[in-house]
Amino acid sequence: MSLRARLLLPLLLLADLASLRPTWASSLAAWRLTSQGVLELRTSVNVNPLAFYEAGAGQRGPRVWIDLPGAPSHSRSINGNGDLRQVRIGQPDASTTRLVLEFAPGIRLDPGDLRLVGTARDRWKMEFKGVAAGLIAQGEGSIETASLPLPARPWSSGSGSGSGFGSNSASGSGRGSATGSGIDSASGFGSGIDSASGSTSASGSTSASGSSGASGIDLANGSASATGSGRGLTSWSRRPPARPALFPTASGPLSAEGLPLVPRGRFKVVIDPGHGGPDPGAVGIAGLRETDVVLDVSLQLARLLQSRGVEVVLTRTSEVDVDLPPRVALANSSGADLFLSVHANALSMDRPDVNGIESFYFEPAGNRARSLAAAVQQQMLAISPGSPDRGVRTARFFVIRRTVMPSTLVEMGFVTGSLDAPRLMDANFRRQMAVALATGVLTYLQNTAQGLR
């Protein structure tokens, strides 16, 4: 063997070994869409999928995508049938598998009906109501086969569960169009995301009248749940909370004792927890995220109102991303008596001296909207001693400008404020804030019932 060959041989062997370097296998083991329009998934045990929704426009139909830990063996596009145009499986980043279902233009999905429900530690389902026309069942892999835990991520020092998505797209924001790999690069919901919307609201975001025991990822509204995931992010009840250190649950049962009374079954309220999914909203002191604060408060608020006989519609009940228009559309089609969008404020991390509570309404909406904003502002201030009263103010935020019922958007304090942030981090304070908002809403509804508005 020549000297050149002897020198090249080790390099070739190293190249061969490099080509065998394992990838972090996808946690998506199998999927199936039934002829009844039910998506079924089998995953590795104890993974935490995240679901997203985007409304269609023009020649583009609505789409739903689900992100899971691990990389697929290959990206692919699969032609659909009936109301389903295409299924795509791809890799938006090195450690994520994305399953995209794109429906035909003109198909209408109600984001409030879309819930990714955990039925076992390795089983999930989502029902697409009203889209079963002409569907022929299709899928990949065996749904019935038993699953194993997701292996540790190779070539890393940790065990790597792979479920730490935090932000769910390669860029951390957005939504984008299909790439060459046949997958939607969720980056760029742009103004479509509200910091008040549910991700697109996973965009989209039902009437929360159901029981609180359901689990799953609700793509927007859904009935409020006692778990804070409602039908939400902690979809499998045995899974620990996503942010246990920063977001403990308040001690003791949530009680509606002492809240104002209104006629049971007469009123309906839409609660809009701002932001969600890849859009965390403001991020403040100690990594405090607006989306965590507002979702926790909103879910507790929903339960308090329900206990007083108020029907509640939530634009999201989990860490999903909902666009602003679907939030407004959901509210306007619900026949609700009022709309409350829940937020936390922020400024520069260099300005911890800025704190305070404020409530906004759209001036052309008139006195009813202002009365609602004033009622909740008063109650929030009552449980926040020392926090400045930034007032009841007019604004043109999309969600209060485009809703047809009296609406207000509240800022419960600054996640960047030295006074407000520690309070918003505290689970018991968030519970007090939920009670305060419930008191304000019920006071407004009580006055409405008495003809005082």
What is the value of pTM for the model shown? 0.50
Q: Give the CATH architecture of domain 200-449.
A: 3-Layer(aba) Sandwich (3.40)
Residue 105 near residue 63, CB atoms below 8 Å: no
pLDDT of residue 74: 84
Catalytic residue among 54, 102, 319, 411: 411
203-239 pLDDT, tens digit per residue, is 233 333 222 222 333 333 332 222 222 222 222 222 3
pLDDT of residue 250: 61
Using left for φ > 0, alpha for ψ between -120 and 50, and beta otherwise, residue 251 falls in beta
250-268 pLDDT, tens digit per residue, is 656 678 889 999 999 999 9
Q: Which residue has the higher pLDDT, 228 or 288?
A: 288
Residue 411 annotated as catalytic? yes
Rounded average pLDDT over 418-425: 95
Q: Which residue has the higher pLDDT, 228 or 47?
A: 47
133-180 pLDDT, tens digit per residue, is 778 888 888 888 776 665 554 433 233 322 222 222 222 333 333 222
| 200-449 matches 28-140 in CATH topology | no
Rounded average pLDDT over 276-283: 81
Task: Tell me which of 37-41, 67-71, 91-95, 149-153 is least confident.
Answer: 149-153
Res. 185 pLDDT band, cuts 50 70 90: very low
Cα separation, 117 vs 433, whole angstroms = 29
pLDDT of residue 123: 86
442-451 pLDDT, tens digit per residue, is 999 999 888 7
Measured CA distances, 350 to 246, 354, 355, 356 (Å): 22, 10, 13, 16
Domain spans, the chain: 28-140, 200-449
* Summary mean pLDDT of the chain: 74
Which CATH number is 28-140's, of 3.40.50.620, 2.60.40.3500, 3.10.129.10, 3.20.20.450? 2.60.40.3500
Q: CB burial class (10 A; 0-12, 13-18, 19+) of residue 67? A: buried
85-115 pLDDT, tens digit per residue, is 899 999 888 888 999 999 999 888 887 778 8
pLDDT of residue 405: 96
- Residues across the chain: 453
pLDDT of residue 256: 84
pLDDT of residue 53: 84
pLDDT of residue 195: 26
pLDDT of residue 196: 27
Closest CA to 441 of 301, 316, 253, 257: 301
pLDDT of residue 375: 97
Rounded average pLDDT over 388-395: 96
Beta-bridge mates of residue 50: 67
pLDDT of residue 148: 65
Q: Which residue has the higher pLDDT, 93 or 301?
A: 301
